[in-house]
Amino acid sequence: MTSKVNGFAKRDVAIVGVGIAPSGEQWDKGLRELTIEAGFAAAADAGVRGKDIDLILVGNMSAGTFVGQEHVAALVADFLGLNPTSAVRVEAACASGGVAFKQGCLAIASGLYDLVVVGGVEKMTDVQGKWATSVLSGAMDFEWEAYFGATFPGIYALMARRYMYEYGLTREQLAAVAVKNHYHGSFNPLAHFRNKITVDQVLNSSLIADPLRLFDCSPISDGAACVILTPAENARKYTDTPILVDACVQASDTLTLFERRDICTLDATVEASREAYRLTKISPKDIDVAEVHDCFTIAEILALEDLGFCKKGEAGTLYDEGQLYVGGSLPVNTDGGLKASGHPVGATGVKQIVELVKQLRGEVESGRQVKGAEQALAQNVGGSGATAVVTLLRREN
């Protein structure tokens, strides 16, 4: 079969191994320890040997600034015992993991590589919160946004306020995003936060950037995740439950918010999802479970509409109806999302893939397993929407 990864292609791609390190404040683990934990888990899951791996791709946003470590790909190859395998770091802000995954799919589809490791890692808690905010601001236009005092909570607050004005989203509906994701995260032993919360707790948490409050914002997290890719024709050498990559599409938009056509729409997400649906000939109604980029609660609202799960302005009603919980018509962020599961930025895109692979295999914990899931979608966003990666996964029948 011809691979559908961006339409460029010779071979179908399968995921045969996944591994993940817990997200959170990992004071006893550094960058390399997190990488080793996720990488060894993925290798064990697939039963692969280091000498069989052809390429290593590592999603990482800013290890040099967070912990002073550049040359991250070489570090990963070294401490996973994979030298002299070629290793490459991929950076696309918070979409670093998703873009690394896409490049891994292309590497397999091209016919040049037969076994590719895609990892993502970030160690963020070794610096103070103000410094972390400054580092993350490098994912926006530093000269024309961050220089004048903009932060990502402020940028997304502008989106939220405009959206509420345009479409009548209530503050309670916005808070319901966090409530749902904390509920799912409470069943995830690897989540940064495992506490259930209420709408009142969200509304009464500290104001960050009106209308966003503390419980509307994803945390600063340490974490790592890893997946192993191979041609679909070889997948059953490694696993009885291969997961096929039907499409992985990346699109771009303006770096600055003020240049956007519409700040209530992430055009990069719209374009990437439209192309992914076209390549696979499926529609949003075919998706059984989704992981979307909820760095702030408004981001999940926008994602649902931009991905075609509902019309513009209608996402809020899905929370009123409970449709986005496990057991609903479209379970979203079953691991807790970025909000509860954590947001180690370079790892997030890969972490989403790990969750969906486990969902499609039927291997997640009771309370958040989507029964009979066959088709899954991941959306990973960089910055305020300048980069978007949409991936469609399918359980092999």
Does 192 participate in catalysis according to the annotation? no
Catalytic residue among 94, 105, 248, 264: 94
- Per-residue HEC secondary structure of the chain comes to CCCCCCCCCCCCEEEEEEEEEEEECCCCCCHHHHHHHHHHHHHHHHCCCHHHCCEEEEECCCHHHHCCCCCHHHHHHHHCCCCCCEEEEECECECHHHHHHHHHHHHHHCCCCCCEEEEEEECCCCCCHHHHHHHHHHHCCCCCCHHHCCCHHHHHHHHHHHHHHHHCCCHHHHHHHHHHHHHHHCCCCCCCCCCCCCHHHHHCCCEEECCEEHHHECCCCEEEEEEEEEEHHHHHHCCCCCEEEEEEEEEECCCCHHHCCCCCCCHHHHHHHHHHHHHHCCCHHHCCEEECCCCEHHHHHHHHHHCCCCCCCCHHHHHHCCCCCCCCCCCECCCCHHHHHCCCHHHHHHHHHHHHHHHHHCCCCCCCCCCCCCEEEEEEEECCCCEEEEEEEEECC
Q: Which of 182, 192, 293, 343 is catalytic?
A: 343
Is 343 annotated in the active site?
yes
Would you name the residues annotated as active-site residues? 94, 343
